[in-house]
């Protein structure tokens, strides 16, 4: 977002996914914005709903985080 001169002033992390979807010009943007939303939803369940989390849940979430961060690095 910094490369585009954008910065979110929102208190909601989910709004970052909206900014990405609107302003990042890449064939994978929509898919990666959805991935970020899923990551944030899981984070919220863990943080605020006290969802019981198993090791296989954590491994699956980690895969999504790694794929998202890899995509971001490729854009930079």
Per-residue pLDDT tens over the stretch 40-72: 999 888 888 877 888 999 999 999 999 999 999
Given a contact cutoff of 8 angstroms between Cβ atoms, the answer to whether 37 and 17 are in contact is: yes
Instruction: Give the C-alpha separation, 36 to 76, whole Å.
Output: 17
Residue 4 pLDDT grade (very low, low, confident, very high; cuts 50, 70, 90): low
pLDDT at 72: 95
The pLDDT, as a whole number, for residue 59 is 96
pTM of the model: 0.83
């Amino acid at each position: 977002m910094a490369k585009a001169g954008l910065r979110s002033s929102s208190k909601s992390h989910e709004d970052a996914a909206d900014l990405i979807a609107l302003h990042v010009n890449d064939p994978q943007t929509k898919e990666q914005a959805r991935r970020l939303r899923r990551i944030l939803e899981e984070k919220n369940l863990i943080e605020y709903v006290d969802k019981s989390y198993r090791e296989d849940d954590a491994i699956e979430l980690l895969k999504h985080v790694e794929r998202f961060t890899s995509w971001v690095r490729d854009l930079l």
